[in-house]
Amino acid sequence: MTFFNFLFKNSDLECPRCLGKGFVGPEDIRRLNKQLKWAPGPCAYCDASGKVTEELLSKVAVDTTYLTIDLPESEIEKIKNGDPETIEKGKLQELFIDNLIQYIEHQYLLKNMDAESIADLYLSTEDENAVFSVEKENLLQYIRKIIHLKNSEPN
């Protein structure tokens, strides 16, 4: 007698985010174009198992930026279940980061400003009521990363 193994076949798909490694490394981050948004770590898409279900693939985009391992378990569950409020929150966060990247690139490329000046300018114009706010030290690190990436891009 055999069990209905075909029922579970779907859970045997290789995770497209980490390519089955269970870990998202620098090359995966580059492949998914998230250099400024993710750091290497265990894969949140497959929960570090390397395997995913067809259901997950159809419900959650593999490059959903907000879905990372540093979120609380409950938050990850909500994203995977398509909770609208959580998904909206993720979109807002990504929009904030996209705008920040654009701002920094603009100041650096068009105004030739250095990281320190860009950070000061950004913080001086930051809305006091902003939903997301950043620490100067972290912002500086982030600006340097963006500048580094810009300089290593092929022309």
Binding site for Zn ion (CB under 5 A): 15, 17-18, 43, 45-46
- Surface-to-core class of residue 112, CB atoms within 10 Å of its CB (0-12 exposed, 13-18 middle, 19+ buried): exposed
Q: Tell the smallest beta-carbon distance from residue 55 to Zn ion (Å).
A: 15
Q: Would you say 23 or 103 has its CB closer to Zn ion?
A: 23
Q: Would you say 15 or 29 has its CB closer to Zn ion?
A: 15
Q: Tell the smallest beta-carbon distance from residue 19 to Zn ion (Å).
A: 8
Q: Would you say 46 or 115 has its CB closer to Zn ion?
A: 46
Half-sphere CA count of 46, side-chain side, radius 13 A: 24
Q: Tell the smallest beta-carbon distance from residue 86 to Zn ion (Å).
A: 20
Q: Tell the smallest beta-carbon distance from residue 89 to Zn ion (Å).
A: 22
Q: Would you say 73 or 137 has its CB closer to Zn ion?
A: 73
Residue spans of beta strands (DSSP E) within the chain: 13-14, 23-24, 41-42, 51-52
Half-sphere CA count of 41, side-chain side, radius 13 A: 11
What residues have CB less than 8 Å from 109, skipping those under 6 apart? 150
The structure tokens listed for 133 are 């706010």
